[in-house]
Every structure is written in structure tokens, then in C-alpha cells.
Structure 1
Amino acid sequence: MQEPLFMQPVFQEKIWGGNRLNTVFGFELPSDKIGEDWAISAHPHGKSVILNGPYQGMTLDQLWAEHQELFGHQSEEVFPLLIKILDAEDDLSVQVHPDDAYGKQHAGELGKTECWYIIDANPGAEIIYGHHAQTKEELTQMIQEGRWDDLLKRVPVKKGDFFFVPSGTIHAIGKGIMILETQQSSDTTYRVYDYDRKDDQGNTRELHIQQSIDVTTVPAVTPQLAVKEVRKGNSAVTTYLETEFFNVYEWQVKGELTIAAKGPYTLMTVIEGYGYLVVGDKEYELKMGTSCILPNEIKEWQIKGDVKIIASDTAK
């Protein structure tokens, strides 16, 4: 029986980061401006290292290349998903991501469709999610004239909200928000606006106006979610998304919950509480921030305790 593959977090310093990945999740952070924990990643900009078992010390991209049996023998060249926990101590830049075709042509990597589970949000917190322009010409003009209040659509958020952010969606996470992000394995971001912020050296960050205009969906489309909840005793499985890129679930466990694999492998990250993952006759501790992959051979497992997990898989 294969073991779950537990991941070493990869921390990314950001101009908008803070220290709540320490105060909330208990991670030891290298600075107090950490914006992102790349919890499960095979991306060159931050590779997860396996913490346990026969593959201990290997990186996830290496495992994908050399041990496809763990993933059900997939055809993709690169591991397709990237899981992050983000701590927005300040507003993120207003940005947009390309689709696969544009990303591969202009950035040499996948496009970036993503989704957000709001782990926590300060009172009054909001995101930018979409825009009001009706044509590319209007979008271009509003950007060039700096009419951000007219252009950008603001949406209040609270703990437990979920948002699907397809490529082409203008978006920004606002200050005071922590999220679990499930996304395609891409680090291509086009900044539309960054509040004229300066870094420690007094420089403003690079903007990508033409690329942003190229890839933005106009008029904006707000995806309709078909959220499904299945209760099992005191526990529940919620399916937030089923897309060509990834499927995303919430496992809210109070007591014990048995789960069967739906995809060729399953990713999971603990965002609340404490418990145990049971595979066969082995138990593994689950605390906040724990991330692992359940490889192909593991077809069923149990979660015990009082714990909330965001999980994902692919249809292939």
C-alpha cells in the first residue's frame, strides 16, 4: 500500500505579505512579509519536497517525471496543479492571467485558471472580481485614463466564501484576507494596476498593460457555481467546482469520514482543526497547514477528528 506524500511548505516573500501564516498556521517563517505558502507545487519558482516515505527528499517535479505510476500515468508534461495559502496583509495588485494558448505562446507555460476558498477575512474586506467595461476599446480607455473606480467591480467577502477565477478575469485579493488557492501550475501574472506602490528601494512594480488588455475577457463573465453538499452523519463533503482543469472539494469532518478517490490522485490541505488521516492500518497526523498528495494506489481513506480540508483532483 502506498503512503500519502506529505509536502514541505515553500514560502514566498511579497510586498503585500504578513506573518499570519505563523500566527494562524504555526509555520516558522523566514520573514514577516510572507505572502504565500506554496503548499503543493512542482513549479520551477517553488518546488515542494517530499517529507516522508521512500521518496523523501525528492521534489514533486522529479517525482512526476520519474514515478508516473504514483499519478495514474498522466499525459501532461508538467504536474498540472499548484496549491497555495495566501495571507494578504495589504491589497494585491489588480491583475489578470492568460489562458493556456496565450500562456504557452507568450510565457512558455500553462495559463492560469484559479479558485479561492476564503479561510478568513477581516470585517469589511473585499476583493476585486470582474470589471464594468463592455468592449475592448472601453476597457483600454478606462485603463489609460486611470478610471479604476468606474472600471473595477468590488465584492465583499467573508470566511467560507468560494470564488472561481477563470483565466481572463480581472481580479485582486484585498487586504485582511487569507485564502486557499487551487490553480493551474503557472506563475504568469499580468498587472493592470498596483496603486502606484513603491518597494523598499522606491521603485514601482512593473505593469503589463498591453498583455492585460489582450487576455481580459470582455464583457466580464461571472461564473455560476453549482455547489453540492452531501452530509454524512455530522460530517459533510462539499463539491465547489468540477472543471477541465481541476475539481475542488471541502471535507468538513466531525468524528469520522470515509472518502473514496474520484481522480487518479488527490491533493489535500488542512485549513482548520486537528485530526488524523487513516490509510489502511496507518494513521497520519493532520494539523493546520498540513498538505499531502494521495497517490493513485490509495483508493479509499478515512479522516478522523474535528478538521476542515480543501481537496482537489483532476478528471484525467
Structure 2
Amino acid sequence: MEKEALFLKPVFQERIWGGTKLHDYFGYQIPTDKTGEDWAISAHPNGPSTVKNGTYQGETLDTLWKTHPELFGNPSEPVFPLLTKILDANTDLSVQVHPDDAYAKVHENGELGKTECWYIIDCAKDAEIVYGHSAESKEAFTEMVQNGEWDKLLRKVKIKPGDFYYVPSGTIHALGTGTLVLETQQSSDTTYRVYDYDRTDKDGNKRELHLEKAIDVTTIPHVDAKLDIQTEQRDHASITTFVSNSFFSVYKWEIAGKASFEKIAPYTLVSILDGKAELIIDGKAETIQKGDHFILPYAVTDWTIDGNVTAIVSTPPLHH
């Protein structure tokens, strides 16, 4: 097996709330000025990534998962479990909630549930997110939703660049205006909208809400996710572990100089948010820079990064 990183082409999705930051910040060639999402590392049928280098150039990630399972350590999961996105919330996203695996399996044709997390890349000075709600019972929640008492129901949190939020399934949430976020999530496209600010699309239609399902899956009362964020310094790298659980592990690598790594999972997803460096695998070097997304497959047991970069990195669950 070739020891090489799989670099991926972004898949852009237009959204009512999207903007131009994916171009302005990362230099991507975006299709329109309402580009809301870059599906950076995706094997989801609604937007699979394509490999742009090496042995598997032109192959999509979902196909590789099926035809070359050895690249991922011969996994048992039927679908690639993770999805990395960059979101440009030029205006407020709808207030939404996602189901867990068990509920999605029954109600969404076997789709995975959606637990996700956000790393705030950049945001406006007074940016906020919706994270959680104030209702103590399902009755109270339902009543506030039906009466449109959004200010009373929704919890707003001020954010700043570098913040990390864990958003398990069942959590009411929304990104606010002026936020650029890297999202690591289960590979799912199931969203239940609770409130959309009564917005209309270009044809004057409001977007569909999914209140019954949303009320079904929302965690009531809201529980704040407990995080144990740890940072370790080694060589010329600072490595922060944001979360490590049965869905994924997510890290931030801040590298200034030369840092060596050994794999801790069958494969590793890397998104370069800033800077430039050399990625050295098996004595071969290639340049990695801001806006690059790649997977280090199973055969890559160790690698070195030499330069100055900030990256968000994820792996499938580490079986403790």
C-alpha cells in the first residue's frame, strides 16, 4: 500500500444564510455569494469528496470506503462515520436539533444520528450562538415553541475565535451571524428545524419546520456537555484534545517548527486552518497550507510536519 495522504477537493453547498467567507478567508473558488458550507472531508451521498492526488486521484471517498477498506484499517462500519465541514454563517442559521443514532435509524431510513462539535475559526466581535434552552419539561418546551417565546426559550452564548463547543444529539443549537466554524460531526445530513426567524426563500416560501420530531428528540431539561480539554506540549507542537468519545476524537495541533507524530487511530482527518508547512511521510515531503484537507490512511504509521500551521484533526472513536 502506498504511504500517502489523500488530499480532498471541497464540495460547496449553497445556503440561505451563506456568504463569501469561504473565498475571502480560505481563497476557495466558491460557486455563489451564498455559499454556506464546505464539505471538506465527506463520504455522505449528498456531497462526497473527491481525492485530488496520488494513486486514488478522481475516486470519491464513499467509493474508496467500499472498494478499498484496507485504506481505513478494514473497518466494521458500513459507512464512513465522520464528516468535516467549514460553515460560513453570514446570517443566523435556523434553530435546530439532531436525532441520535437510534431515532434516526427508525425515522430517517437508517441514516446515522448527528452528534457534532464546533471550533470557532473566526467571528464578528459580538457574535453569539444558540446553545441549549430554558425549558424544564416537555410541556413547557412545547408551549414556548407554539407561542413563539424564543427569547425566553433559547439560551444565547457569546463566542470568540478559538472557542470549542460540543453539540451532542438532542441539543438545541444554532450558529449566529458572522461566524466561521469548522464542524466535526457524524456523517449525517438530518436536521430538525425548530425556528427559522420566519425567513422566506427567493420564491417567498418559508423553510419547513420539523416541530414534532424536534420535540421528540430534544434533551429536556438542557444538559451542558462536560468537556475535559487538555493541552500537551511536545517538540515544537502544542496538542489540545477537545473531546474523545464513542463518536470521534477531535484535536487542535499548533505546530511551530518540526513535530513528529505516530498514528493513534486507523486513519486521521486533518484540516489546515492557518499557515504553511511540509508534511513528510516515508521521506517524501509535500506542502500543506491553509485550506487543505486530507486523510492520513491506515498505512501511514508515522509522519512529520515541519513549519508553522494550525490544524483541526479528528479520528474515528479510539476503542479504549
Would the TM-score normalized by the shorter structure come out above 0.5? Answer: yes
In the alignment, which residue of structure 2 is the partner of 1:49? Answer: 50
CA–CA distance in structure 2, aligned partners of residues 145 and 304 of structure 1: 56
1:256 aligned to 2:258?
yes
TM-score by length of 1: 0.99
**Counterpart residue type for residue 224 of structure 1:** K
CA–CA distance in structure 2, aligned partners of residues 292 and 183 of structure 1: 16
**Could you list the per-position Cα deviations for residues 8-48 of structure 1 after superposition, in whole angstroms to 9, with x for gaps in the alignment?**
10000000000111111000111111000000000010010
1:16 aligned to 2:17?
yes
CA–CA distance in structure 2, aligned partners of residues 277 and 35 of structure 1: 29
SS in 2 for 1:199: coil
**Could you list the per-position Cα deviations for residues 134-193 of structure 1 after superposition, in whole angstroms to 9, with x for gaps in the alignment?**
011111011001000010000000000000000000000001010000000000000000
CA–CA distance in structure 2, aligned partners of residues 78 and 254 of structure 1: 35
CA–CA distance in structure 2, aligned partners of residues 214 and 255 of structure 1: 50
CA–CA distance in structure 1, aligned partners of residues 288 and 21 of structure 2: 19
CA–CA distance in structure 2, aligned partners of residues 299 and 173 of structure 1: 37
SS in 2 for 1:47: coil
1:220 aligned to 2:226?
no
CA–CA distance in structure 1, aligned partners of residues 236 and 260 of structure 2: 12
- Aligned pairs (5 A) from 1:124-139: 124-139=126-141
CA–CA distance in structure 2, aligned partners of residues 165 and 260 of structure 1: 29
In the alignment, which residue of structure 2 is the partner of 1:175? Answer: 177
- Aligned pairs (5 A) from 1:134-145: 134-145=136-147
CA–CA distance in structure 1, aligned partners of residues 13 and 185 of structure 2: 16
In the alignment, which residue of structure 2 is the partner of 1:273? Answer: 275
Deviation at 1:235? 2.3
Deviation at 1:234? 4.2
**Counterpart residue type for residue 59 of structure 1:** T
**Counterpart residue type for residue 180 of structure 2:** M
- Out of 226, 229, 232, the residue aligned to residue 231 of structure 2 is 229
In the alignment, which residue of structure 1 is the partner of 2:298? Answer: 296
Question: Are the equivalent residues in 1 in contact too, given 2:90–2:177 (CA < 8 A)?
Answer: yes
- Aligned pairs (5 A) from 1:93-242: 93-108=94-109, 109-242=111-244
In the alignment, which residue of structure 1 is the partner of 2:6? Answer: 5
CA–CA distance in structure 2, aligned partners of residues 104 and 265 of structure 1: 26
SS in 1 for 2:50: coil
CA RMSD in angstroms, aligned pairs only: 0.8
**Counterpart residue type for residue 117 of structure 2:** C
1:27 aligned to 2:23?
no
CA–CA distance in structure 1, aligned partners of residues 214 and 236 of structure 2: 45
**Counterpart residue type for residue 282 of structure 1:** K
CA–CA distance in structure 1, aligned partners of residues 88 and 297 of structure 2: 28
Question: Are the equivalent residues in 1 in contact too, given 2:236–2:259 (CA < 8 A)?
Answer: no
SS in 2 for 1:53: coil
**Counterpart residue type for residue 213 of structure 1:** I
In the alignment, which residue of structure 1 is the partner of 2:286? Answer: 284
Question: Are the equivalent residues in 1 in contact too, given 2:248–2:314 (CA < 8 A)?
Answer: yes
CA–CA distance in structure 1, aligned partners of residues 258 and 159 of structure 2: 30
> Among the aligned pairs, what percent are the same residue?
55
Structure 1 consecutive aligned stretches of length 4 or more whose deviation exceeds 2 Å:
none
**Could you list the per-position Cα deviations for residues 246-267 of structure 1 after superposition, in whole angstroms to 9, with x for gaps in the alignment?**
0000000011111111111000
Q: Which moved more, 1:227-236 or 1:67-76?
A: 227-236
Q: Which moved more, 1:227-236 or 1:300-309?
A: 227-236
Deviation at 1:280? 1.3
Q: Which runs of 5+ in 1 are unaligned?
A: none
1:87 aligned to 2:88?
yes
SS in 2 for 1:46: coil
Q: Which moved more, 1:267-276 or 1:78-87?
A: 267-276
CA–CA distance in structure 2, aligned partners of residues 277 and 234 of structure 1: 14
SS in 1 for 2:305: strand
Deviation at 1:211? 0.5
SS in 2 for 1:84: strand
SS in 2 for 1:262: coil
**Could you list the per-position Cα deviations for residues 217-258 of structure 1 after superposition, in whole angstroms to 9, with x for gaps in the alignment?**
011010111011011244201110001010000000011111
CA–CA distance in structure 2, aligned partners of residues 168 and 225 of structure 1: 17
Q: Which runs of 5+ in 2 are unaligned?
A: none
SS in 2 for 1:69: helix
